[in-house]
């Protein structure tokens, strides 16, 4: 299952609250999605947390998002470990601040031995960028052009070795995929709900 988490800002606006309050409320929906998915036996859950385009948002909002991410990891790491959930980052995390990368690396390392659900968080992610990065890896590996096929390219994606999503969920009613998992969702069912992300529960 893959989820485009959308609607935090609108959730806050409808309540006459600052946008940051929508992001804070969205953390509860993340917690519920992860824990419920693990209980349901879902093999892989991928959440779209921060796109490459999100850097265009106000600096204070971006800073708040990163602070909330670090807080989530610190508070939820024990839960991930207790439920056997493996945590992984997909995207281009090198562009993130060092303290954020450190927190992410710690969570990845601590959960690396878990054998339950794979929980991917897409950070500084873009679907087109992922395909470009995969093509670069193929070129760097020395694969001849005549030998390039779908399997070899898929093996160079951020999600290499993982099954493609069967279901893509988008909250807030927007009818678009926002450059998310462009390769992987080729055959996925797509479900769009008008529910804003902070109100979404599995």
Active site residues: 6, 54
User: CA 29 to CA 198: how far, in whole Å?
Assistant: 6
**End-to-end Cα, the chain, rounded Å:** 11
Host H or E run for residue 90: strand 86-91
What own/partner pairs with CB < 8 Å and gap ≥ 24 does 34-42 have? 34/76, 34/80, 34/85, 34/119, 35/79, 35/83, 36/201, 36/202, 37/1, 37/117, 37/119, 37/202, 38/83, 38/84, 38/85, 38/116, 38/117, 38/119, 40/202, 42/1, 42/117
Residues linked to residue 170 through DSSP beta bridges, in sequence order: 4, 192
User: CA 122 to CA 4: how far, in whole Å?
Assistant: 10
**Cβ(169)–Cβ(191) below 8 Å:** yes
């Amino acid at each position: 299952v893959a989820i485009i988490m959308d609607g935090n800002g609108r959730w806050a606006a409808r309540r006459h609250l600052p946008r940051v309050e929508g992001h804070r409320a969205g953390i509860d929906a993340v917690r519920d999605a992860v824990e419920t998915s693990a209980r349901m036996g879902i093999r892989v859950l991928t959440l779209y947390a921060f796109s490459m385009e999100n850097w265009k948002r106000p600096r204070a909002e971006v800073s708040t998002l990163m602070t909330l991410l670090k807080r989530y990891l610190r508070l939820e790491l024990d839960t991930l470990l207790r439920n056997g959930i493996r945590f992984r980052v997909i995207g281009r995390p090198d562009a993130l601040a060092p303290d954020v990368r450190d927190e992410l690396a710690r969570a990845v390392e601590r959960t690396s031995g878990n054998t339950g659900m794979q929980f991917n968080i897409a950070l500084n992610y873009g679907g087109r960028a992922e395909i470009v990065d995969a093509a670069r890896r193929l070129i760097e590996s020395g694969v001849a052009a005549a030998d390039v096929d779908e399997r070899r390219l898929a093996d160079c994606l951020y999600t290499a070795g993982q099954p493609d999503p069967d279901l893509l969920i988008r909250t807030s009613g927007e009818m678009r995929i926002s450059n998310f998992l462009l390769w992987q969702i080729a055959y996925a069912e797509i479900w769009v709900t008008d529910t804003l992300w902070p109100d979404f529960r599995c």
